[in-house]
Amino acid sequence: MRSFDQLDWVHAFDDYEMVMYLQQEGTEDDGIYMQVLERTVEDGAQEWNILYDRRLSSVIGTPSITREDPAYEDEVLRMYLNEHPSLVDDEKAYLKKWLAESNGDGRGDDE
């Protein structure tokens, strides 16, 4: 089992969280993804709902370690983040646009 901790890749702000993760299962859907969740609070209870889950890139890059290494996923994500230093600001802008374009039911058209 990999030691990757998803919480290392969570950015929380206002009532939202964005989570960057790697999917590499040998399918055409492989890549680096961003999932954005929204928090609602009702009667003191928090609920997190996925707003969207989109692929940022199908290119995983060439990490210096093998896929079997526990640090593999972390390195792939760090490489991507280093290549895209404005990722958090870019994703916040995407979220703002997505929310503005979303339908009345809160669901927008994902890419």
Could you state, in order of their start, the residue ranges of all structural domains in the chain? 6-101
Better-scored residue on pLDDT, 106 or 66: 66
The SS3 call for residue 100 is: helix
The predicted-structure confidence for 43-60, as pLDDT tens digits, reads as follows 989 999 999 999 999 999
Query: What radius of gyration do the chain's Cα atoms show?
Result: 15
Report pLDDT for 107: 45
Contact 9, 19 (CB under 8 A): yes
In the predicted structure, residue 10 carries a pLDDT above the cut 70 = yes
Instruction: Give pTM, 2 decimals.
Output: 0.80
The predicted-structure confidence for 50-101, as pLDDT tens digits, reads as follows 999 999 999 998 999 999 998 999 999 999 998 998 999 999 999 999 999 9
